[in-house]
DNA sequence: CGTGTGACTCGGT
DNA sequence: GACCGAGCCACAC
């Protein structure tokens, strides 16, 4: 069974709030859950989609707009993002900043 | 200026 | 306490 921690739940909740055609960064999510220093921990928490269609971890990218990593493969992640009308160049999201979803501070 | 690679650090499990 | 990881920054080409 997949027993997850409270942090996982927070990360999943924030990621799940990302609307279609929109993306976010690990740092934004980390900040949204009240752990602005836990960007890599957010990646650690996602690791992959425990609830695949509910947790669009492929919409989560790095602070510099790069796709970062993806358990299924970066190419696959880019492919999904392109399907969201998000353009990627050399592994970096084009206009990612404009598509960045603004999280409200939870705490 | 833009892109690529490496190293260090922070946080979590 | 040890290991992992999807970040961040800096340097080099």
Tokens of A34: 């009240």
Half-sphere exposure in the Cβ direction for A95 (13 Å, CA): 10
pTM of the prediction?
0.90
* Chain C positions with a protein C-beta closer than 7 Å: 4-9
Residue pair A29/A42 in contact (Cβ under 8 Å)? The answer is yes
**What's the rounded Cα separation, in Å, for the pair A1 and A18?**
26
* Percent of chain A scoring above 90 in pLDDT: 2
Protein residue at shortest CA distance from C1' of C4: A44
Phi (first) and psi of residue A16, to 5 degrees: -65, -20
Query: Which nucleotide lies at the shortest CA–C1' distance from A33?
Result: B11
pLDDT band at A105 (very low <50, low <70, confident <90, very high): low
Q: Can A48 be counted among the known catalytic residues?
A: no
* Chain B positions with a protein C-beta closer than 7 Å: 3-4, 9-13
Catalytic residue of the set A18, A32, A39, A57: A57
């Amino acid at each position: 069974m997949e027993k997850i921690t409270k942090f996982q739940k927070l990360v999943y909740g924030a990621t799940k709030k990302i609307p279609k055609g929109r993306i976010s960064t690990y740092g934004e999510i980390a900040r949204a859950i009240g752990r602005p220093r836990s960007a890599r921990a957010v990646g650690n928490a996602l690791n992959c989609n425990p609830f695949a269609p509910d947790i669009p971890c492929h919409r989560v990218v790095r602070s510099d707009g790069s796709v970062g990593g993806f358990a299924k493969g970066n190419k696959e992640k880019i492919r999904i993002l392109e399907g969201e009308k998000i353009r990627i160049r050399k592994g970096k999201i084009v206009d990612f900043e404009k598509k960045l979803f603004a999280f409200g501070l939870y705490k």
